[in-house]
Structure 1
Amino acid sequence: MASQWDNFLCNLGEWRGTFTGIDRDARELESTDSILSLEQGAEERLVHFRLCRYAAGDRGGTPIRDNRQDYRSLGRQVVFFNSGSFCKGTLQVAPGTVFGGEFGFIDGDRRHRLVQLHQDDGRFDQLVLIREWRSGTDQPECPPLHLQQLMGRWDGEAQRITADWPEPETLVASLELSPQSGGVQWRSQLGSDTLEGSLEGGLDASGNNTQAVRTARMPDPQRFILLLDGGYHLSPEQVSHRGAFAVEAGWLSGPNRLERLIRRFDASGAWLDSTQVVLQRL
């Protein structure tokens, strides 16, 4: 079985992309262009990281930010899966401390990353959507996600890594979305765990969604946001160190391939586990 480090190396290369802020109402904020490189160093366990950010449309100019770092190991705050997809972020929710996380999807020469930010009182603030292509490739961006694209039954497999055991557990997984009165029913299964909920607001006469932001009840109210490049985000409006919760991002990288990344926290606000779910439409 591949190690966390080997999984990390799936992301080697130069990636050209765009960072776009997304506010609470799914409106686009400022965008900047980017070039991110992960280069194998002279030592076996050495990777050089460099991220240059540019004013929009000026990737060939002088970067407005230039961050560099060398990696020789990976901390507990990040988990990599066999495909190279990863998620990372806060390990413990604490009062007066900003809560955040990142979901990183990779499929061939595309990466779709999403950064989640909450204010220091735990209230959801905004997202940063990062769309990336491996340099020298021209794979098209995925269309903006519509709820109709998720409808139906999806089946596949999940890999779960817990905070106290880095070897992944393999689980049978499924997801089913179906119309119901005034909304959409959501039924997710991971191994023996089943979660049933709903998304408020239905589909219009053409079968398309009319809202980019919806209330999800899982069973407690959460915020469900449809995004550009085939993505979505699911998170509580408020996170706390006094209650268990989960945060999730999804990426429809192809018409019949859906990937989900889920981070769960226990009743004390401590990170519990991270799960990658890869599903195919039946």
Structure 2
Amino acid sequence: MGSQWENFLQNMGEWHGSFTQLSARGEVIQDTPSIISLEGLNDNKTVRLKLQRFSPNPSGGEPEVSELVREYQNLGRDILFFEDGDFCQGSIQLAPYSEFGAEFGFIYNYRRLRFVQLYNTDGHLSKLTLIREKQLDKNIPERPPLTVDALLGEWEGEAVTMYPDSRNPDSYSTNLQLHLDAADRLMQKITFGDSLNPQIIASSARIDGSVLYFNEGSAPMQVVLLPDGGSCTIPVKVEFRKPTFFEAGWLVEPNLRFRMMRSYNDRGEWISLTLIKERKISH
């Protein structure tokens, strides 16, 4: 695995897309076109980020342009990159009465998909943003919106877990089985870890349109199915002294999906980031 800086450089280039603000059910509230460029300076020892967003002009005419420019020579403690450039940045510590959240980013075939999940000081979701981006000269089309049917079947994957304390990453196999128990019920079985002593998690979700409600455990979660093959798993409420996680997913081919999880322990500390690349082996 390359250095964190080398992994960061996989995101270089000019990316055209939009920031789509969504409700907790995935409904579009606002869509703002954007261009973000990541340019290497000083033999890539510095990276200049320039973000432009084009908001509608209330009086008509040309859009209003907001611009953000930053330069980076190192990376913060709140972010980790995988070797393909996929990354997650977010809160290091959950604390009472503080805002909390994470951004996930995936790269595949000259496209990027990013998600921002933010919680307010009461622990409820305050903002969900989907960011779809592409490199213009490649003209790679967007994926269809994600559906339950596209997820059904058995998926075999390889996971890499990285840690914010810089210890060596862990790699292991995963297996995910998804099937319908009834028209409005999705059954899920996840197997991962050591083949001699695997961990198994079984759960079920109520299907309500493009939202899956996993309400059986002590920490209810919901999965929102999104445009461009995207999905995000969000806690219904983030609570202090309870372990939690965020997850984002991207179905990049009918039989290839990426998932990324950012996990926190019961002290609210960020403890790991896991990327799973899984292939469907049966429908």
> TM-score over 0.5 for the alignment?
yes
Post-superposition shift, 1:166? 4.7
- Deviation per residue, 1:1-59 (Å, 9 max, x gap): 311111111110000001100012221011111110011112442111110001269xx
Matched-pair contact (CA < 8 Å) for 1:80–1:86: yes
Matched-pair contact (CA < 8 Å) for 1:196–1:219: no
Alignment of 1:1-282 (within 5 A): 1-55=1-55, 64-181=65-182, 182-191=184-193, 192-201=198-207, 211-217=209-215, 219-220=217-218, 221-282=220-281
Structure-2 change in CA distance of 1:80 and 1:103 (3 Å): same
* Cα distance between partner residues in 2 of 1:143 and 1:26: 15
Matched-pair contact (CA < 8 Å) for 2:155–2:176: yes
* Cα distance between partner residues in 2 of 1:16 and 1:185: 37
Aligned residue for 2:5, secondary structure, equals helix
Identity %: 35
Structure-2 change in CA distance of 1:56 and 1:149 (3 Å): farther
**TM-score normalised to the size of structure 1?**
0.91
Which runs of 5 or more structure 2 residues have no equivalent in the other structure? none
Aligned residue for 2:83, secondary structure, equals coil
Aligned residue for 1:104, secondary structure, equals strand
Post-superposition shift, 1:165? 2.7
Matched-pair contact (CA < 8 Å) for 2:56–2:63: no
Cα RMSD for the two superposed structures: 1.7
Amino acid paired to 1:114: F
Aligned residue for 1:141, secondary structure, equals coil
Matched-pair contact (CA < 8 Å) for 1:52–1:63: no
* Cα distance between partner residues in 2 of 1:166 and 1:4: 13
The worse-fitting range, judged by mean Cα deviation, of 42-51 and 131-140 is 42-51
* Cα distance between partner residues in 1 of 2:36 and 2:167: 27
| Structure 1 residue ranges, 4+ long, deviating more than 4 angstroms after superposition | none
- Deviation per residue, 1:112-160 (Å, 9 max, x gap): 1010011111112231000000131211111111011000001121110
Matched-pair contact (CA < 8 Å) for 1:31–1:56: no
Amino acid paired to 1:22: L
* Cα distance between partner residues in 2 of 1:256 and 1:17: 25
**TM-score normalised to the size of structure 2?**
0.91
Which runs of 5 or more structure 1 residues have no equivalent in the other structure? 202-209
Structure-2 change in CA distance of 1:100 and 1:52 (3 Å): same
Post-superposition shift, 1:175? 1.4
- The number of residues matched between the two structures is 271
* Cα distance between partner residues in 2 of 1:130 and 1:260: 16
